[in-house]
Structure 1
Amino acid sequence: MTISYKISPASLHAHIFHVSVLIKNPSADGQAVYLPAWIPGSYLIREFVRNIVEIRAESAGKAVAITKSDKHSWQAEAVKGPLEIHYSVYAWDLSVRGAYLDQTRGFFNGTSVFLAVQGQENAPCNVEIVAPEGKEYKNWKVATTLAARNAKQGQFGSYQAANYDELIDHPVEMGEFSQISFKACGIPHDIVIAGRHQADLKRLKKDLKQICEYQIRLFGEPAPFDRYVFMTMAVGDGYGGLEHRSSTALMCNRDDLPLAHETQIKAGYRQFLGLCSHEYFHSWNVKRIKPAAYAPYDLKQENYTRLLWAFEGITSYYDDLTLVRTGLISPQDYLDLLAQTITGVQRGNGRTKQSLEDSSFDTWVKFYRQDENSPNSLVSYYTKGALVALCLDLLIRKQTQGQKSLDDVMRALWLRYGKDFATQGEGVTETAWEELAFEVSGLDLKSFFDSALRSTDELPLQALLAEFGVDWQMRAPVSSADKGGWLDKVLSPSNSLGVRTSNEGGFVKLSHVLDGGAAQKAGLSAGDLLIAMNRLRVTSGNLDALLASQPTNGEVEIVAFRRDELMHFNVHLQSAEANTCGLRLTSGSDEGNITYADWLLN
């Protein structure tokens, strides 16, 4: 029987949604319900249940006892006839992962608001989305890819889903928002932007259409959805995205969005397009091509896989690659982005301690719970995973003389696991990904995978890129703001403390102290606030200059606060490590180079 939900924005000023769930055929022994502990795509136990502030149950108008049975579950007493549960959800999480409500907008993921009915997760679901009361909200609309039941698209009313898994995979935006539509390969797409902004929607429409059509054609038409929505929240300072089966929830800095008078793609807009590309690619890679560990999800506890490098890392490889293949950015712009990714990986000592498979497996306790020691202890399956994808792509192209590529592996994964996932439900086992890569490429890739995924060996980036007409430069950073990129003139390494810093109340705070660096050797620690160097005040604006003014590998006295205690340190400065990458096309490389053209201009 159908499970019926109703959600109402009950108190916008108090940020409260009222939710009810009607269970027509509850368990004869008493019905159990639970709220997911995490949301697919974000691998951390988030305990969404903490935001349920009150709950009650009734049957035939009479109160029914409902008792908490564990941290995210309740047990209702046995009843004859339908059971209805009413509860309130506090919604003040501005992220893409939770639920939010105020007088300007509402947003929710189903994992934050819809209780699952134990044992009836496969039952069809209806949900009535109710408009807020008050004439000031008369212009509020709804954006969601939930299938309409009796609601008109964009309006409040009744929607439906085939089961609970589908119900929670369609976030809902409500409010007064900007919207523009387009078709990609015949499929309707909407761009929705909440928050104050001055974005050039026509430019967004044109650019996103190219991204969407490229990725649909990469995997093969038709697209795996009937409609897609980019839900974006524009804020003063924020960034993030979360994939869903036919939509994505995004957050960006409003200054990153394109303005009508801008003709070039600024860095912030390039980053936003990369984010859109990343989440859209997930429509195939992780929403339908899934690890077996996620087929189906267990939403009560951690789901472990060693394959996140393939689902997040490969997606991270294709997000910017899509931009250059569609002509939205130039090949050199792409190489600059790639150099920044390489730089980010090289600057973390964790790459020498944690393998990519271990990073994937431990995401629940390490990557999503980063602290001051994380650069020394972990490697990102996003960034290093993207570099492994790059190496794999170039290796296959090289050894098959351009006859095969990672594109072919992704299409084979789609045909074998993704295209029919809705009916077959088969996920990729921990060994099947590599086995399919062997099959598609015709190559023995075992030694590559053993090194890239199960060891901390350095990747063969320089050698492989050289085969495709790309020059490699590894140099010291010229300042703390240097994220990578080619320099025609490489300067001598400057002095370094071996730290990462942030600004806290006008002080320079050591956010991370890197293994083997000058600061660590002198006894400085993460959290210390720098006061002075050689009796001169340290600020975020002059730290680089103070270091540069000292003799190479000289000694300085640093005064710092640790908590509320003043401490003195004698620091032997070190030369900055050559961990900053630059890439450029080899002189003479052009679009006529077949390996280069097939890779970047496909």
Structure 2
Amino acid sequence: MKKNARLLYLLTVWIFFAPNSPSAATPLTDDETPPAPIPSITYVLSMPEPQTHYFEVEMQLKNSAAATNAKKNGYVDIKMPVWTPGSYLIREYAKNVEAFTATAGGKAVASDKIRKNAWRVYSADNDLTIRYRVYANELTVRTSFVDIDHGYVTPAGVFMYLDALKGNPHRVVVQPYKAWKQVATGLKPVAGATFTYEAADFDILVDSPIEIGNHKTFSFTASNVPHTVAMYGDAEYNEQRLTADYKRVCEAAATVVGEHPCTDYTFIVHHIPPGGGGLEHLNSTTLETNRYAYSTEANYKGFLTLVAHEYFHLWNVKRIRPIALGPFDYENENYTHMLWLSEGCTSFYEDNILRRAGFHTPEAYLGIVANDITQIENQPGNRVQSATESSWDAWIKGYRPNENSSNTTISYYSKGSVLGTLLNLSILAGSNGERSMDDLMRYLYAEYYKKQKRGFTDDEFRRAAEQIAGRKLDDFFTTALTTADPIQYNAYFEPVGLQLVNVAGKTQDGFLGATTSVVNGKSTVTSVRRGSAAYTDGLNVGDELISVNGLRVGDDLLRFVSGRRVGDVLQLVVNRSGQLRELPVKLTQNPLVSYRLEPTANQTAAQKSLYAKWLFIK
């Protein structure tokens, strides 16, 4: 009887864990003792009253006391992440949590909130049930939302964790609102269990958003991988065309590294009035766009650009990554100098992918590259902050812009995109067209993601880039990347037979350097450009502009500046904090540039060949 009972126990353990967990039990021999029960974490997610914007969470901990030292300490600490990977800002998700309670064996257990994002449960019980509510009324790709129409879960802001059990499997049971029939997520479904999913560890759970409702879905296969698209919100689109174009983008993106690491992929698409961008995940992404995203060719290509960007992140960031970006510390900032690579070079690849997929002509792609350079060169902060500094300061500056940000910062997205172009050209030129940025991505993927199973340091990235280029890249790494000094662009474009030309019209018109916004009939200054007339002569953000040269401004400041010459003085009257001030402002030369890439004279055969390889011209 004891032997039969023991076999029944082992069979039960195998049935419970084998289909869903990498920690499946191995059958014991007769002379072995049973292993300690494996801790498990299950979340039951419900939304019985979605109109109130609350998710209800029940967190069930089984066999957890030994693993968490609860028996020794007499308590266990439950935490909520303060940020979500891919969005580099401390978001304080715990601010939305309420009604935290704990029970053991059906009886209430004492608990205290001990930090802004941590609760201490005073129990040494093996099995605990934690319950709490999460207010979710902010629909972005980085926050959670639920209303009468649908629910969207950013896991970092909904699911709590235990440090000691982060590496264990985490199961999620979704109980949709009674009127909802569908769930979309990159999490792996548990066989035979409706709306039940499992992640191998907490990192994967955090990396798997969940859409719940009655969204429309369609699917396709790209690179032999099944893809699902979940579409929330009203939008008019040609499903056949959109499906085909998703496939084109995805398959073009896969050619960069040459290997697709996923067994499946999920797009969650929200069609909401303001749009809002995207956020990458391990085998899924959430995209926010407006309902008119498919209405014109320009809008449509803009949406495909977003698709390409977030999709390429499944390689760059999620697998090819700086060493700081995983495993994550969910309670503190995770600093790196390389967001220019992780985000900016993904922006470089978004257009590069559309070019190789045939959505952009070579001429259109050159226009995009020139416009990217124009954008950063017209921002004063480009002469203040380097791309590496921008990456490091993302946590305090990137997501917290103010009225002076354009004067002091540069986006690691836009600057990084330009740097991606320059690095690609450097590798092409250094290898005589034998290698490109693709080869660098492939090397990083194979060496660090697959072989060493970690991220890379700044120095390791530089060595890899120079190895692929076949030469030193001092100008790129010591000037273009790490300083705010001017970049010698034509040194990068000359090998492909191009030159960057400023085609901004030369004019004697004066330049004020301030922008205004009209609210309730009041013209208020919203930005002042560093070094401009407005900046030098004391016009401030927040000033209400009353008159120029004795005439009421109204809603058209430009008519008072247009046609004025450099050196002309405008007599401004402003209301500043309730006091009228007179400001004479002397107009300066317009500093704005507009770049275009043009062929150099007498192009060589080598330049033409490299140009064709750069732009995928056969």
**TM > 0.5 fold call:** yes
CA gap 1:173/1:563 in 2 versus in 1, 3 angstroms: farther
1:126 is paired with a residue of what secondary structure? strand
Structure 1 residue corresponding to 2:524, chosen from 509, 514, 525: 509
Following the alignment from structure 1 to structure 2, what is the Cα–Cα distance between the partners of residues 578 and 493? 13
Following the alignment from structure 1 to structure 2, what is the Cα–Cα distance between the partners of residues 341 and 447? 20
Determine the structure 2 residue equivalent to 1:479. Answer: none
CA gap 1:447/1:473 in 2 versus in 1, 3 angstroms: closer
Determine the structure 2 residue equivalent to 1:345. Answer: 376
72-81 or 522-531, larger mean C-alpha shift: 522-531
Structure 1 residue corresponding to 2:284, chosen from 223, 247, 256: 247
Determine the structure 1 residue equivalent to 2:199. Answer: 161
Q: Does 1:363 align with 2:385?
A: no
1:14-413 matched pairs, under 5 angstroms: 14-24=52-62, 25-26=64-65, 27-28=70-71, 29=73, 30-133=75-178, 137-138=179-180, 140-150=181-191, 157-221=195-259, 223-255=260-292, 257-259=293-295, 265-266=297-298, 268-413=299-444
CA gap 1:167/1:178 in 2 versus in 1, 3 angstroms: same
Structure 1 residue corresponding to 2:469, chosen from 424, 438, 441: 441
Write the letter of the residue equivalent to 1:544.
Answer: L
Structure 2 residue corresponding to 1:536, chosen from 547, 551, 555: 551
TM superposition shift of 1:588 = 9.5
Write the letter of the residue equivalent to 1:426.
Answer: R
1:69 is paired with a residue of what secondary structure? strand
CA gap 1:142/1:588 in 2 versus in 1, 3 angstroms: farther
Following the alignment from structure 1 to structure 2, what is the Cα–Cα distance between the partners of residues 246 and 536? 59
CA gap 1:400/1:150 in 2 versus in 1, 3 angstroms: closer
TM superposition shift of 1:157 = 1.6
Determine the structure 2 residue equivalent to 1:470. Answer: 498
Determine the structure 1 residue equivalent to 2:12. Answer: none
1:455 is paired with a residue of what secondary structure? coil
TM superposition shift of 1:441 = 2.1
Determine the structure 2 residue equivalent to 1:551. Answer: 565
Write the letter of the residue equivalent to 1:360.
Answer: S
2:399 is paired with a residue of what secondary structure? helix
2:371 is paired with a residue of what secondary structure? helix
Following the alignment from structure 1 to structure 2, what is the Cα–Cα distance between the partners of residues 589 and 543? 47
Following the alignment from structure 1 to structure 2, what is the Cα–Cα distance between the partners of residues 295 and 359? 20
Question: Over residues 21-56 of structure 1, what are the superposed CA-to-partner deviations in whole Å (9 max), with x where a residue is unaligned?
Answer: 111113322111111111000111110110102210
1:344 is paired with a residue of what secondary structure? helix
Contact 2:345 2:420 in 1 (8 A): yes
CA gap 1:458/1:551 in 2 versus in 1, 3 angstroms: closer
TM superposition shift of 1:539 = 5.0
Q: Which runs of 5 or more structure 1 residues have no equivalent in the other structure?
A: 477-489
1:532 is paired with a residue of what secondary structure? strand
Contact 1:66 1:74 in 2 (8 A): yes
TM superposition shift of 1:337 = 2.1
Following the alignment from structure 1 to structure 2, what is the Cα–Cα distance between the partners of residues 508 and 228? 49
Following the alignment from structure 2 to structure 1, what is the Cα–Cα distance between the partners of residues 367 and 284? 29
Question: Over residues 192-236 of structure 1, what are the superposed CA-to-partner deviations in whole Å (9 max), with x where a residue is unaligned?
Answer: 221121122222222221111011122113x11111122111122
Say which one has the larger Rg. Answer: 2
2:250 is paired with a residue of what secondary structure? helix
Write the letter of the residue equivalent to 2:262.
Answer: F
1:408-419 matched pairs, under 5 angstroms: 408-419=439-450
TM superposition shift of 1:493 = 5.2
Contact 1:523 1:569 in 2 (8 A): yes
TM superposition shift of 1:471 = 4.3
Determine the structure 1 residue equivalent to 2:486. Answer: 458
Contact 2:511 2:566 in 1 (8 A): no
Determine the structure 2 residue equivalent to 1:575. Answer: 589
Following the alignment from structure 2 to structure 1, what is the Cα–Cα distance between the partners of residues 153 and 595? 40
Contact 2:509 2:563 in 1 (8 A): no
Structure 1 residue corresponding to 2:50, chosen from 9, 12, 15: 12
Following the alignment from structure 1 to structure 2, what is the Cα–Cα distance between the partners of residues 574 and 475? 19
TM superposition shift of 1:589 = 8.5
TM-score by structure 2 length? 0.88
Following the alignment from structure 1 to structure 2, what is the Cα–Cα distance between the partners of residues 94 and 576? 40
Following the alignment from structure 2 to structure 1, what is the Cα–Cα distance between the partners of residues 383 and 332? 30
Write the letter of the residue equivalent to 2:94.
Answer: V
1:19 is paired with a residue of what secondary structure? strand
Contact 1:151 1:159 in 2 (8 A): no
Identity rate, percent: 35
Determine the structure 2 residue equivalent to 1:484. Answer: none
Write the letter of the residue equivalent to 1:509.
Answer: T
Structure 1 segments, 4+ long, off by >4 Å, are 584-592
269-278 or 103-112, larger mean C-alpha shift: 269-278
CA gap 1:175/1:560 in 2 versus in 1, 3 angstroms: farther
CA gap 1:231/1:537 in 2 versus in 1, 3 angstroms: farther
Question: Over residues 96-155 of structure 1, what are the superposed CA-to-partner deviations in whole Å (9 max), with x where a residue is unaligned?
Answer: 10100001111011101000112110010110011113xxx14x3111111001468xxx
Write the letter of the residue equivalent to 1:412.
Answer: Y
Question: Over residues 451-486 of structure 1, what are the superposed CA-to-partner deviations in whole Å (9 max), with x where a residue is unaligned?
Answer: 12222222222332243243423254xxxxxxxxxx
Write the letter of the residue equivalent to 1:567.
Answer: R
Question: Over residues 162-213 of structure 1, what are the superposed CA-to-partner deviations in whole Å (9 max), with x where a residue is unaligned?
Answer: 0100111110111222322111111111222211211222222222211110
Following the alignment from structure 2 to structure 1, what is the Cα–Cα distance between the partners of residues 349 and 483? 24
Following the alignment from structure 2 to structure 1, what is the Cα–Cα distance between the partners of residues 272 and 82? 27
Contact 1:355 1:455 in 2 (8 A): yes
Write the letter of the residue equivalent to 1:574.
Answer: T
Aligned residue pairs total 571
Contact 1:59 1:83 in 2 (8 A): yes
CA gap 1:430/1:466 in 2 versus in 1, 3 angstroms: closer
Following the alignment from structure 1 to structure 2, what is the Cα–Cα distance between the partners of residues 171 and 505? 41
Contact 1:37 1:46 in 2 (8 A): yes
CA gap 1:284/1:2 in 2 versus in 1, 3 angstroms: same
51-60 or 335-344, larger mean C-alpha shift: 335-344
